[in-house]
Amino acid sequence: MTLRKSFDPHLAIDDITVTDRDIDMLRAIDRYGSMHKAAAELGRSYPHLQRRVVELEDAIGQLTRRVRGGKGGGGTELTSDALDLIQKFERLRVELSGVTNVPDAVISGTVTDQNGGLATVRTAAGDITARVPKTAKDVEIAVRADAVVLMNPQSPSHDQTSLRNQIPGVVSELVIDDAIATVTVEIANGVTIKSIITEESVTRLDIEEGTDVIAAFKSTAARAVAADSKWARQR
């Protein structure tokens, strides 16, 4: 007899339960920029899909917005609340999968601007906003893999997210173990960042080695220390 682990992630918001099916729907709307096309690709009826969007928005707030005109004749895009919901659900998947050892990336840089506890750090991959000690100049930024969200650069909604750091890169390594994927993204020559997502998300995002992605994370998820600190020397 073979025992297999399984889980059914969901988020409860008032009387609404957000399920994997709902997240698939939002991802499809984001990918195709159209509720009609999302319904067709998912094999669902448009009225049913539209009705579900309305139910979710009644409980959560605006998740989609109409885009009118333009070369494509308009369409539908996700709001930042929708993208945040997808991120929360993705992290829940990973937590329920029992991941205990979460790798982090360390990115070196120089502080160029400081505003309280947050600073802009110039790195080989571009500017990163992070939590930085006020006296630090040359720093090393640590970003946990479970805080990094991967997005499609072609998505019409990725610039609506509250994730302030958005770094384009190329998937250099993809390792899947027990339904959990560790994705390594090269964001500059010799500089990488990791993201932990589920195997299902790898399929949804069409991720493989060589895929162009955007690695996104919040400023508060990036923690920096002075490059000459004891923590940095132990890395």
The pLDDT tens digits of the residues spanning 128-182 come to: 999 998 888 999 999 988 889 898 887 765 555 667 899 999 999 999 887 788 9
Return the pLDDT at 127. Answer: 95
Does pLDDT of 12 surpass 90? Answer: no
Check residues 207 and 5 and name the one with the higher pLDDT.
207
Tell me the per-residue pLDDT of 100-129, one tens digit each, with 9 for 90 and over: 467 788 999 999 999 888 999 999 999 999
- Topology at the third CATH level for domain 104-234: OB fold (Dihydrolipoamide Acetyltransferase, E2P) (2.40.50)
- Topology at the third CATH level for domain 11-96: Arc Repressor Mutant, subunit A (1.10.10)
Residue 169 burial (C-beta neighbours within 10 Å; 0-12, 13-18, 19+):
buried
Tell me the per-residue pLDDT of 32-90, one tens digit each, with 9 for 90 and over: 889 999 999 999 999 999 999 999 999 889 999 988 765 555 689 898 888 888 878 87
Is residue 182 within 8 Å of 194, Cβ to Cβ? yes
Backbone angles phi, psi at 81, to 5 degrees: -65, -40
Q: Where in the chain is the domain with CATH 1.10.10.10?
A: 11-96
Q: Can you tell me the mean pLDDT for 5-13?
A: 68
Tell me the per-residue pLDDT of 196-231, one tens digit each, with 9 for 90 and over: 888 888 888 889 999 999 999 989 889 998 877 544
Tell me the per-residue pLDDT of 16-45, one tens digit each, with 9 for 90 and over: 889 889 999 998 998 888 999 999 999 999
Is residue 168 within 8 Å of 149, Cβ to Cβ? no
Does pLDDT of 2 surpass 50? Answer: no
Does pLDDT of 234 surpass 60? Answer: no
3-state secondary structure of 23: helix
Does pLDDT of 99 surpass 60? Answer: no
Residue of 172, 215, 210 lying closest to 197 (CA atoms): 215
Does pLDDT of 4 surpass 50? Answer: no
Residue 120 burial (C-beta neighbours within 10 Å; 0-12, 13-18, 19+):
middle
> Sign of dihedral through CA atoms 153, 42, 184, 85?
positive
Q: Where in the chain is the domain with CATH 2.40.50.100?
A: 104-234
